[in-house]
Amino acid sequence: MLTSIASGVALLALAVSSVVGAVQQPFALGGGNFESYDAGLFSPMEDLGLLSTSEFTTLGHPAFPNYNVRIKKSDFCDGTVRAFTGYIDIEARHLFFYFFESRNDPDKDDVIFWTNGGPGCSSSIGLFMELGPCRVNDVHNVTFNPYSWNENANIFFIDQPIGVGFSYADYGEIVSTTEEAAKDIASFVAIFFEHFGSFKGRPFHMAGESYGGRYIPTFASAVYDQNAYLVAAGLTPINLTSAMIGNGCTDWKTMIPSYYNMQCQPKSVEPVVSISNCVDVKRALPRCKKWLQEACYDTTDAINCGTALSFCQSYIESPFWTAGYNPYDLTKPCSYDELHDSLCYPVTKKIGSFLDRADVRKSLGVDQSVKGNFSSCNNDVNYRFNAGLDNIFPADYYIAALLERGVKVLIYVGENDWICNWVGNEQMTLNLEWTGQEAFAAKPLRDWKVGDRAVGVTRSSGPLTFATIQGAGHMAPYDKGEESLELVKRWLAGEEL
């Protein structure tokens, strides 16, 4: 999930971190030591069925000397398939993950990686509220989700970066940029596929929502770039097939101006802001866009950029916040207190209570060093990313680069979302500078259907697809499970919407 640009609630911002070193030293992308790798030192685990339900099995790889993966069976949530949980151990940092096999054909189906956004929000929201095999309705009430994305795919849910969900650090270690987080994710992916050979060569899709608009392009690029060094070391490259971004905030140059469209024009619902306020917003837009471009993108002036963002928030966003609507679904009311207490969705607190149960934590294998009540979003992580302006990094550059290399990209958006809305996302896709830009922009929007029902509009050309989902908000799989699953199934199968 994601909130206002300057909010400390759990939800927006990105860092102008220099990635020059990462570009000049590509070995660092995956944290690997490929030059010293000795194939004779490696014995893969191979079969997930050999894992224990009572204790972790630790997996390592000589090409990644600073990384281990602890994994165990955790047969919960979906009684029809095998489930696993564990930690990605990066020396003193530990990232928690869930893994569910496909309900269809786990030995042949694709693999999906999923992360929620924030920055700082746990992927338990995606798992237990949106697209996972079960939904938590109350502390002792968990039900089967027939629209889970593991209907036709094996799927990971990861709590990242450090400090999110059940992830933890031994000595207060932190991660403060998306590029730093990408190193850990790329290494984990390589170790997993090397150990469990039955997954090698399978189509791999990296997916996320909200701040995932920044995470997923960066993570997918790190996995892609790491492949060259896997091949050079005699290892199997990851078959990175696509990136899937749901209601993502990727480019603030298009997203911030779109707030006027969503609150003052009938783009998904009737205008929710008064005429006088809309006039003020319209007058402030040119200065906001100009200042944002000059201070945040043409230069990396943190002080000026922060001031520009504050100006845009005050004049473009503030009228919406005072209107009393849910920023994740314009069809629903939500007070300021409700936003801070439950992100406008009381079920998030019920998920937290469920994950506070001692028996649940034991089943999951949550490390005993993780104390206190579960929190869906970590404000400290959010603050660190915000303080570095991590969101201002042009993540759309990564998307364009992936497209140029044949990696497919799906941008899907629930139409009722305000914070990372369809208007801003559509404009971002039209503005992408890649060799297929003109062909993509020339395609008209058309309906896509489930049966005879039009459920959204789409535009597609080559490896890039944009799609909306009618009646859905920020968490589209929560609002429209059937339609979201149908979209994903067609995407995985390579079919047109």
Active-site positions read 210, 417, 474
Dist. CA 497–CA 485, nearest whole Å: 12
**Element spanning 157, H or E:** strand 153-159
CA distances in angstroms from 170 to 25, 55, 91, 148, 383, listed in the order given: 28, 20, 9, 34, 20
DSSP state of 129: I
Comparing CA positions, the residue from 453, 454, 459 lying closest to residue 428 is: 459
Under 8 Å CB-to-CB from 455, ≥6 apart: which residues? Answer: 448, 449, 469, 470, 480, 483, 486
Comparing CA positions, the residue from 271, 173, 270, 177 lying closest to residue 219 is: 177
DSSP state of 29: G
Strand partners, 232: none
Dist. CA 69–CA 88, nearest whole Å: 5
Which two structure tokens, joined as six digits, stand for 443? 């395609």
Dist. CA 425–CA 265, nearest whole Å: 16
Comparing CA positions, the residue from 167, 97, 166 lying closest to residue 356 is: 166
Please, are residues 150 and 177 in contact by the beta-carbon 8 Å criterion? Answer: no
Write the burial class of residue 46 (CB in 10 Å: 0-12 exposed, 13-18 middle, 19+ buried): exposed
Q: What is the DSSP string of 195-257?
A: H-GGGTT--EEEEEEETHHHHHHHHHHHHHHHHHHHHHTTPPPP-EEEEEEEEE---HHHHHH
Under 8 Å CB-to-CB from 83, ≥6 apart: which residues? Answer: 73, 74, 75, 76, 77, 98, 99, 100, 101, 133
Dist. CA 72–CA 59, nearest whole Å: 11
Radius of gyration of the chain (CA): 21
Dist. CA 278–CA 276, nearest whole Å: 5
CA distances in angstroms from 482 to 21, 348, 453, listed in the order given: 44, 21, 12
Please, are residues 7 and 314 in contact by the beta-carbon 8 Å criterion? Answer: no
Residue labelled with tokens 């919407």 = 497
- Strand spans (E) along 249-375: 325-326, 329-333
